[in-house]
Amino acid sequence: MSANMKLLMLAGDGIGPEVMGEVKRVISWMDKRRHVAFDLDEDLVGGACYDAHGVAVTDATMDKAMSVDAVLLGAVGGPKWDDVARAHRPEAGLLRLRKDMDLFANLRPAVVFDALIDASTLKPEVVRGLDIMIVRELTAGVYFGQPRGTDVRDGVRYGFDTQIYSEPEIDRVARVAFDLAKKRGNKVTSVEKANVMESGVFWREVVSNVHREAYGDVALNHMYADNCAMQLVRWPGQFDVIVTDNLFGDILSDCAAMLTGSLGMLPSASLGEADASGFRRAMYEPVHGSAPDIAGQNKANPLATVLSFSMMLRYSFDMGADADLIDAAVKNVLAAGLRTADIMSDGATLVSTEGMGRALIGELDKMA
Ligand code: NAI
Ligand code: MG
């Protein structure tokens, strides 16, 4: 990847700016030591943006987000904005970014680091070496389907939503999953409820067609969502890439995340449609929120955000070697026994947000 990679950093609220500070440390290390220069722009989002401009994200920031190569987001929200009208709530900024950038594929890796194996509630032998990627369809399905609402029919009140997917919506998210699998364990599990839902039968058919047409060399199996939930807890090692719809993905990605036991370690990516040149809009962010309870105390774990940055290198800039380096540095600081408070355990060394960031740079220095 050549220079001039445009990056928009939206640190947001609460611990967002603190954890993003440690990503900046990594960015300047990459500039100095690996001569990778990002064209870095920073802006406000969420409550911070509301305080400054009266909206959760400005049109000018949206224009930037639409024109850069990748967006890196911290977290938004906090009790300070609880009484703000819904349309201007901090989350509205996040939703607008996802919607306007058409980020339909949400990637949620669940990786268990050996050093943190005790953080999982499952037995070590069940989760050791775990490395799953969940691909959740993010912009369609029952969270958006029409009609939705409440109604009175024959004097009885009803509440309803509509689960609906078009063929292109399933096709494009399936392709993202197959492409990812090719670079990982070469296996995709497609998840729905084809036993009881027509939309599930259709999902299975479209994924099978994509597989047959373009990805015959990737192993594909189909699984019902309830069974998938069981299998994630029983034998998670059987999965490589899981692709599923918005609703099931919401639930199964949280379930898989907790196999790792540490919210402060979980990154995510959201990808848009590829254009003719292969470029995709993309946003990278930690799974956790703004953690108002520890904000401003230099306590937050920056690793989820650092790992989100590493996903950005891998998926937006094809810089797999640099991403590997950062992932290895994360593994090494943990192996060395350094822990922020959220992942602290007996015999480990407690470090601050900045302490963790500095240690990470120390590991990068050793390896580069
Ligand atoms: P949260 O993820 O912010 O915090 C949950 C718990 O985990 C807290 O005890 C927090 O201290 C801890 N925690 C989270 N991230 C951590 C980190 N990096 N290091 C150490 N500890 C960490 O979720 P919560 O408390 O439900 O929400 C707080 C605010 O964040 C709310 O305003 C919520 O709307 C917002 N939120 C924003 C998200 C986003 O920006 N994508 C996602 C989830 C929540
Ligand atoms: Mg987040």
State the Cα–Cα distance between residues 175 and 11, nearest whole angstrom: 31
**What pLDDT sits at residue 1?**
47
Confirm whether residue 358 is marked as ligand binding.
no
Q: What residue type is assigned to position 1 of the chain?
A: M
Tell which of 225, 245, 260 closes a domain. Answer: 260
Give the helix, strand, coil percentages of the chain, each rounded to 5.
50, 20, 30
Burial per residue of 99-125, b for 16 or more beta-carbon CB atoms within 10 angstroms, e otherwise: eebebbbbbbbbbbbebbbebbebeee
Task: Return the DSSP state at 110.
Answer: E
Ligand 1 within 6 A of CB of 135: no
Profile the chain (368 residues) by mean pLDDT over runs of 10 residues.
81 98 98 94 98 98 97 97 94 93 97 92 93 97 95 98 98 97 96 98 98 98 98 96 97 92 94 94 97 98 98 95 97 97 94 98 95
State the Cα–Cα distance between residues 357 and 21, nearest whole angstrom: 9
Residues labelled catalytic: 143, 193, 226, 250, 254
Q: How far does residue 299's CA lie from ligand 1's centre (Å)?
A: 13
One domain for residues 146 and 252: yes
Atom 4 (ligand 1) nearest CA: 291
Confirm whether residue 41 is marked as ligand binding.
no
**What pLDDT sits at residue 119?**
87
One domain for residues 256 and 270: no
One domain for residues 69 and 145: no
Ligand 1 within 6 A of CB of 292: yes
What's the number of domains the chain is made of? 2
Atom 40 (ligand 1) nearest CA: 75
One domain for residues 179 and 256: yes
One domain for residues 339 and 229: no
Domain that holds residue 99: 1-108+264-368
Element spanning 123, H or E: none
One domain for residues 249 and 176: yes
One domain for residues 304 and 276: yes
Backbone angles phi, psi at 233, to 5 degrees: -90, -30
Using left for φ > 0, alpha for ψ between -120 and 50, and beta otherwise, residue 102 falls in left
Ligand 1 within 6 A of CB of 263: yes
Tell which of 192, 226, 260 closes a domain. Answer: 260
State the Cα–Cα distance between residues 337 and 346, nearest whole angstrom: 10
- Where residue 26 sits, what CATH number does that domain have? 3.40.718.10
State the Cα–Cα distance between residues 103 and 93, nearest whole angstrom: 14
One domain for residues 156 and 81: no
State the Cα–Cα distance between residues 214 and 352, nearest whole angstrom: 47
